[in-house]
């Protein structure tokens, strides 16, 4: 790992490229009527993945960058669940047939804030509206501090087979600084509950770059987490954007690690996980060698979507809930971020699309290039350009940001094959950004590159 490169490129603000173009480029010119048309145009035999956003938590974690709000009243959550069920039925009716579903992901917020009965009803509504394949992956994001035995049983009966647990850090000093106090014992108890219920797929989310965090505290968190033997780790750098997420102002910027310290923390975590036998997957995931994600990485079938790296091969992602984003062959759509406006639209019998983006042929070409870079640390420009009827030379000519990366040894170019140096893979977002025709470096919309 090259410290000089971390210093040169680490402070740049870049997308994580879970889509291309990225969400800041979505426009209100794409609304409910467009989404309805796109849904009706889906060809026969289409399979889809479903994402359900539950934007509620019991308390705010100050590092959070998600669309969520704090609720104490369960009736608000119940009302939102009913709205989700109505939206599911509305979308299915607009498609006009019961399409196959291969992946379902509940994100948040805290999806398990719903009652067990409400969760079961929601899963039943999805199975009624869509043909959920018996082999479908059904994943739920969990806050271990609030999970109940009743919800574990509801998930088991509903076919949930993968869970993602927010851990972030086991350091009590860091936990107090981010307003998320969660003991190792709480986390271990939840892992035990899930596995006893037969829910074998367990992922842990860790974060580096948090206030008061050090390499030592990061490694201590990793060693504790390894005792619980999760199948996968997601390791994210904290994105401090208080201008957009006002609750982040509760974090003292003076105790945030700088770019080089973040780089050291990321490298230490990655090295520890690899030494423990996990395969590094792209930018920020790690998986056991026999895990389906590690297999997809080895076979070069790994994909990237709004949930990060995925084994999901579907070209259609249907998003449900306030702020949820969907992806169809024609482009992207996003629901209204405001829960009230979202619910009003659904109650009125409309789709809740507030903005979106219609893909051009150039967008599709660049999206494929960026996805391969993010997933494989390299790309065969000749192969992808040929598939899109484009010329690799023209694409390279437009990627002026590549020149310094090549000069600095981050990237090598062998004919039409681009590869990122092994010691420079932490700069994969910088390489992907070289093919981003929409990127405006002057706007601080994204997290730091390292």
Q: What is the DSSP string of 50-112?
A: EEEEE-EESS--TT--SS-EE---HHHHHHHHHHHHHHHHHHHHHHTS--EEEEEEEEES-GG
97 pLDDT above the threshold of 90: yes
Residue 1, pLDDT score: 53
In angstroms, the CA 326 to CA 353 distance is 10
Per-residue pLDDT band for 5 (boundaries 50, 70, 90) equals confident
CATH number at residue 43: 3.80.30.20
Residues 318 and 378 in one domain: no
Predicted pLDDT at 9? 79
Secondary structure class of 379 (helix, strand, coil)? strand
Domain boundary among 283, 307, 326: 326
Across residues 295-323, what is the average pLDDT?
95
The structure tokens listed for 56 are 């509620």
Total domains in the fold of the chain: 2
Residues making up the binding site? 51, 57, 61, 63-65, 108-110, 141, 168, 180, 205, 239, 325
The CA distance from 339 to 320, in Å, is: 12
Residue 240 CA, chain-centre distance (Å), reads 17
Q: Do both 294 and 428 map to the same domain? A: no
Residues in the chain: 450
What is the distance between the alpha carbons of residues 145 and 181, in angstroms, rounded to a whole number? 9
Could you read off the pLDDT of 139-168 as tens digits, one per residue?
999 999 999 999 999 999 999 999 999 999
- Considering the chain, what percentage of its residues have pLDDT values greater than 70? 97
Q: Which of 308, 326, 344 is the last residue of a domain?
A: 326
Q: Is 342 helix (H, G, I), strand (E, B) or coil?
A: helix
State the pLDDT confidence band at 27, using cuts at 50, 70 and 90. very high
pLDDT in tens, 349-390: 999 999 999 999 999 999 999 999 999 999 999 999 999 999
Is the pLDDT score of 246 beyond 80? yes
Does 154 lie in the same domain as 40?
A: yes
Residue 449 has pLDDT above 60, yes or no: no
**Would 344 be classed as within a structural domain?**
no
Tell me which of 300, 326, 352 is where a domain ends: 326
Percentage above 90 pLDDT, the chain: 88
Mean pLDDT of the chain: 94
Please give the pLDDT value at position 325: 97
In this predicted structure, what is the pLDDT of residue 243?
Answer: 87
Domain that holds residue 49: 3-326
Instruction: Tell me whether residue 412 is in a domain.
Output: yes
Using DSSP bridges, classify how beta strands 100-108 and 131-142 pair: parallel, antiparallel or unpaired.
parallel
Kindly indicate the confidence band of residue 6, based on its pLDDT and cuts at 50, 70 and 90. Answer: confident
pLDDT of residue 312: 93
Q: Could you tell me which residues are annotated as the binding site for [4Fe-4S] cluster?
A: 57, 61, 64
Handedness of CA 146, 149, 155, 159 (dihedral sign): positive
Q: What is the pLDDT of residue 4?
A: 75
Q: d(Cα 304, Cα 313) in Å, to the nearest integer?
A: 9
Would you state the pLDDT for residue 2? 66
Residues 252, 7: Cα–Cα separation, whole Å: 23
Q: How far apart are CA 255 and CA 268, in angstroms?
A: 19
What does R_g of the chain's alpha carbons equal in angstroms?
Answer: 21
Concatenate the DSSP letters of all residues of 218-240 into one string. Answer: HHHHHHHHHTT--SEEEEEE---
Q: What is the pLDDT of residue 443?
A: 59
* 295 and 397 part of one domain: no
pLDDT in tens, 128-139: 999 999 999 999
In a domain, 351, yes or no: no
Omega prior to 109 cis, within 30 of 0: yes
pLDDT for 419 beyond 60: yes
In this predicted model, what pLDDT tens digit does every residue of 40-94 receive, in sequence order?
999 989 999 999 999 999 999 999 988 899 999 999 999 999 999 999 999 999 9
Task: CATH number of the domain at 405, please.
Answer: 1.10.10.920
The reported pLDDT for the residue numbered 13 is 77
Residue 332 in any domain: the answer is: no
- pLDDT, tens digit (0-9, with 9 covering 90-100), for 176-199: 999 999 999 999 999 999 999 999
Strand (E) or helix (H) holding 378: strand 378-380
Q: Which positions make up the binding site for S-adenosyl-L-methionine?
A: 51, 63-65, 108-110, 141, 168, 180, 205, 239, 325
**CA separation, residue 26 to residues 97, 284, 305, 320 (Å):** 28, 25, 16, 17
Pair (388, 316) in one structural domain: no
Residues 93 and 24 in one domain: yes
């Amino acid at each position: 790992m090259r410290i000089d490169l971390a210093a040169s490129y680490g402070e740049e603000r870049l997308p994580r490229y879970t889509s291309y173009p990225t969400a800041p480029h979505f426009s209100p010119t794409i609304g409910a009527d467009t989404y309805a048309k796109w849904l009706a145009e889906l060809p026969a035999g289409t399979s889809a993945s479903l994402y359900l956003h539950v934007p509620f938590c019991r308390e705010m974690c100050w590092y959070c960058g998600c669309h969520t709000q704090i609720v104490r009243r369960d009736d608000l959550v119940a009302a939102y669940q009913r709205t989700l069920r109505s939206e599911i039925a509305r979308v299915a009716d607009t498609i006009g047939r019961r399409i196959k579903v291969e992946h379902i992901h509940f994100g948040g917020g805290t999806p398990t804030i719903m009652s067990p009965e409400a969760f079961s009803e929601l899963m039943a509504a999805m199975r009624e509206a869509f043909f959920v394949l018996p082999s479908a992956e059904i994943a739920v994001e969990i806050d271990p501090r609030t999970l109940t035995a009743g919800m574990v049983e509801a998930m088991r009966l509903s076919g949930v087979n993968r869970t993602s647990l927010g851990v972030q850090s086991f350091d009590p000093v860091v936990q107090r600084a981010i307003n998320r106090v969660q003991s190792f014992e709480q986390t271990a108890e939840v892992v035990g509950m899930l596995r006893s219920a037969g829910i074998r797929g367990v992922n842990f989310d860790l974060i580096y770059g948090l206030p008061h965090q050090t390499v030592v505290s990061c490694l201590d968190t990793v060693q504790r987490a390894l005792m619980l033997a999760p199948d996968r780790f997601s390791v994210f750098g904290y994105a401090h954007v208080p201008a957009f997420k006002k609750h982040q102002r509760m974090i003292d910027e003076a105790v945030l690690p700088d770019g080089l310290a973040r780089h050291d923390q990321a490298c230490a975590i990655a090295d520890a996980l690899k030494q423990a036998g996990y395969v590094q997957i792209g930018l920020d995931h790690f998986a056991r060698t026999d895990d389906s994600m590690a297999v997809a990485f080895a076979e070069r079938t790994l994909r990237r979507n709004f949930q990060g790296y995925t084994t999901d091969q579907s070209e259609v992602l249907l998003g449900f809930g306030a702020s949820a984003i969907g992806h169809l062959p024609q482009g992207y759509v996003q629901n209204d971020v405001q829960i009230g406006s979202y619910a009003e639209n659904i109650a009125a019998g409309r789709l809740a699309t507030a903005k979106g983006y219609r893909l051009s042929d150039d967008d599709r070409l660049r999206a494929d290039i960026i996805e391969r870079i993010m997933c494989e640390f390299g790309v065969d420009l000749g192969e992808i350009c040929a598939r899109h009827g484009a010329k690799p030379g023209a694409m390279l000519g437009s990627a002026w940001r590549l020149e310094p990366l090549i000069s600095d040894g981050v990237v090598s170019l062998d004919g039409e094959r681009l590869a990122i140096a092994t010691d420079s893979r932490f700069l994969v977002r910088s390489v992907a950004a070289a093919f981003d025709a929409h990127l405006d470096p002057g706007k601080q919309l994204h997290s730091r590159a390292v």
